[in-house]
Structure 1
Amino acid sequence: MRSLNIPYNPRTDQLRWLAATMVFLFHFHGQWRGLGGAALESPWTGLVTEGHTGVGLFFTLSGFLFMQIALHVKSINYRDFMRNRFLRIFPLFFLVFLVATSIGRDKFQPQDIFYLFATNLGLAPTSQTVITGAAWTISLEFMFYAIFPFLARFAMERGPRYLFSLLALLFFFKVAAYTVNQNSTLMFFSTFVGRFDQFLIGMLAAMLYQQHSLALHRRAGWLVPLTFMLAIAGSALQSKLGALGVQPRSAFWIVWSTLESSVWACVILAWVSFDKALPAWLERVMIHGGKISFSFYLLHMGVLHVVAQAMHMYGMAGKVTWAHALLMLPLAYAATWALSALSYNTIEEPFLRMRRCYGAVKPVPLASAA
């Protein structure tokens, strides 16, 4: 997706495609297991079995991109920034929320409308069905957006040490929260305490990129494979020490989101610095995948659920083999891609054309801009 506030780098869209694809593969693996399919048991398949790590990549990439914009424009008009974020997220997210509340109409209470602002907490309608369960991240993302202009201003005034100070405070809160929460793994996975560090690390990566972009571009040829191998190793480590859903309370998760995000920050820095062209068709596919990644992310669970139900309907549950997976996976991925392209062109793109440039011509005090 092209920003109005910074020169376009197609590599960022390609990273969005990667993040959405990993989350898709993670949920595909879950549906496959539900049909009786064999599990991937090697820790080296962690980018699939723990493919929720794509959420960590999304959060880190958001911090990176917005800090890049802040460093470029120097001053952000808060009102226009939040207007753009609303236009980017709310139309499709609200549609998904309406679908979720329609599915759960018998349990829905009028006050549940406030879950629009807290889809990651409690019994949010968007978290109760396999159709809309991926939407839990949106409230967190919007929370990060709401405080970002302030964070960017303070970071540009005080330097990276300001963000490191926030990370230190957050680490204390993680340790303290761990001592009193018996389901701390889910807390770290889906709340501000467990995810804010990933946005901050993305911001730090952008500041590092600004200072060392020439050196990174010169070394990107070997940094890209090295950082991707690091990502594979990181997911293997999680598979061994802290697989999601295995332990409701694990000290590993106190540090995992920080480690996960640090690895993705390295991948981001290497990939955005990579100047060599990929095959033209592959470039186009990955860029388009990044453009529709928001729709892809929010809609893929619905497609996977419908495909799995079709398998049940035809009596294939419990009888599936890897040959079925080789057929089911590309069909489900293609169907999700087609639906996401339709969603992007119908719902997202008309609102995206209403965005404004939010880089202030003159410095605007954030307090008055808000």
Structure 2
Amino acid sequence: MKSLNLPYSVRIDQLRWFAATLVFLFHFELKWRNLGGGGIDSKWAGLIIEGHTGVALFFTLSGFLFMRIAQFQRQIAYAPFVRNRVLRIAPLYLTIFVLALSLNRDSFQPQDLFYLFTANLGDSPTSRNLITGAAWCIPLEFMFYLLFPWLSRFAMERGMRYLLQLLAMMLVFKLMAYRESVHSSLMYFSTFVGRFDQFVMGMLAAMLYQRYQLWLQRWAGWLLLPALLLAAGASALQAHVAPYNVAPHAPFWISWSMMESLVWAGVILSWVSWQGRLPGWLERGLAHGGKISFSFYLLHMGVIQMLAQKFGLPHWTGIAWLDAGLVLGTVYGLVWAVATLSYHTIEEPFLRLRGSYGAVRL
């Protein structure tokens, strides 16, 4: 996705595609298992069975990207920055929220409208139905946007030490909150206390990239595979020690978001620095996947749920693994098509209204 505030990087879009695909695989595997088709039993497939880690990659990537913009612009005008972010996320997010209200019309309460700003908390209308459930993370993203111009200024003035101090403070808050929350794992998973450090980790990665860019570009080819293996190993560890929605009060989750974003920061740094080339068709395809990733993320559960309710568990060949692969490819293609339509219909017209926000010092 091209920006007026930073030279375009196809690698960023490709990482967006990867993050959205991980979340898709996570929900597809859950639905396939629930339909009786069996699931993946190996913890080493943590990137799939705990594919919600794609959200952590999104958050870390947001911190990285916006810190890169701040470094490029040197100064950010607050109001134009927030305006751009509203134009980016509000049209589709509001569409999903209105859909959620419509689905819950019989139980609607006027105060439900306030959940527009806190869809990650309490009994949000978006969380009452699977097809709108992915919207929970958007308020967290927007809260980061509201803070970012200040955070980036302080980080550029005071250096990486400031971001490390923020991470230390977040760890203190996590320790304070652990025994005060009956379902601490869910609290760490879906609140600002549990996720803010992932944005900060992305900002820290951007500062490291600026300082060591030439070195990273020289060695990225050697660093990329270990970084990906480390990310896969981290998800396997989480699947083994404290699976999501199975361990509601596990101390592992106190430090998990920081470890999770640390390994994704390594993937981001190595992939963005890599100077190699994929086949042209693949470069373009993955870049398109990144461009439509917001629609893909918010709409994929709706497509999966609709098809599951309509067709149940298909037995096209009678071979379990082949049926799973064929259905996976078919559903992924349909989500891709719906997301492309959504991008061009709902997102793109508003994205064209964005402007530069690098003119005025805060």
CA–CA separation in structure 2 for the residues paired with 1:176 and 1:128: 29
Letter in 2 for 1:308: A
CA–CA separation in structure 1 for the residues paired with 2:314 and 2:347: 37
Superposed CA deviations along residues 232-285 of structure 1, whole A, max 9, x for unmatched, are: 111111111111011110000000000000000000000000111101111011
**Structure 1 contact 35–320 (Cα < 8 Å) conserved:** no
* TM superposition score normalised by structure 2: 0.98
Equivalent runs, 1:97-246 vs 2, <5 Å: 97-246=97-246
Letter in 2 for 1:140: L
Aligned residues: CA RMSD: 1.2
**Structure 2 contact 60–200 (Cα < 8 Å) conserved:** yes
**Structure 2 contact 88–351 (Cα < 8 Å) conserved:** yes
Shift of 1:43: 1.1
Superposed CA deviations along residues 69-117 of structure 1, whole A, max 9, x for unmatched, are: 0011011000000000000000000000011110011111111101110
Superposed CA deviations along residues 322-352 of structure 1, whole A, max 9, x for unmatched, are: 2321221011000000000000000100000
Percent identity between the two aligned chains: 59
Change (3 A) 1:345 1:243: same
* TM superposition score normalised by structure 1: 0.96
What residue ranges of structure 1 are gaps of 5+ in the alignment?
A: none
Letter in 1 for 2:162: Y
Whether 2:38 is the aligned partner of 1:31: answer no
- For the residue of structure 2 that corresponds to 1:180, the secondary structure is coil
**Structure 2 contact 314–323 (Cα < 8 Å) conserved:** no
Equivalent runs, 1:310-329 vs 2, <5 Å: 310-312=310-312, 321-329=320-328
CA–CA separation in structure 1 for the residues paired with 2:127 and 2:61: 24
Shift of 1:124: 0.5
Whether 2:53 is the aligned partner of 1:53: answer yes
Match of 1:95 in 2: 95
Shift of 1:297: 0.2
CA–CA separation in structure 2 for the residues paired with 1:276 and 1:4: 25
- For the residue of structure 1 that corresponds to 2:107, the secondary structure is coil
Letter in 1 for 2:346: I
What number of residue pairs does the alignment pair up?
Answer: 360
What residue ranges of structure 2 are gaps of 5+ in the alignment?
A: none
CA–CA separation in structure 2 for the residues paired with 1:155 and 1:218: 26
Shift of 1:320: 8.7
Match of 1:295 in 2: 295
CA–CA separation in structure 2 for the residues paired with 1:27 and 1:4: 34
Letter in 1 for 2:358: G
Match of 2:82 in 1: 82
Poorly superposed stretches of 4+, deviation over 6 Å: none
Change (3 A) 1:315 1:277: closer
- For the residue of structure 2 that corresponds to 1:36, the secondary structure is helix
Letter in 2 for 1:88: R
CA–CA separation in structure 2 for the residues paired with 1:158 and 1:77: 19
Match of 2:279 in 1: 279
Shift of 1:128: 1.1
Whether 2:349 is the aligned partner of 1:350: answer yes
Shift of 1:58: 0.1
Whether 2:12 is the aligned partner of 1:12: answer yes
- For the residue of structure 2 that corresponds to 1:182, the secondary structure is coil
CA–CA separation in structure 1 for the residues paired with 2:244 and 2:354: 37
CA–CA separation in structure 1 for the residues paired with 2:204 and 2:141: 17
Shift of 1:353: 0.2
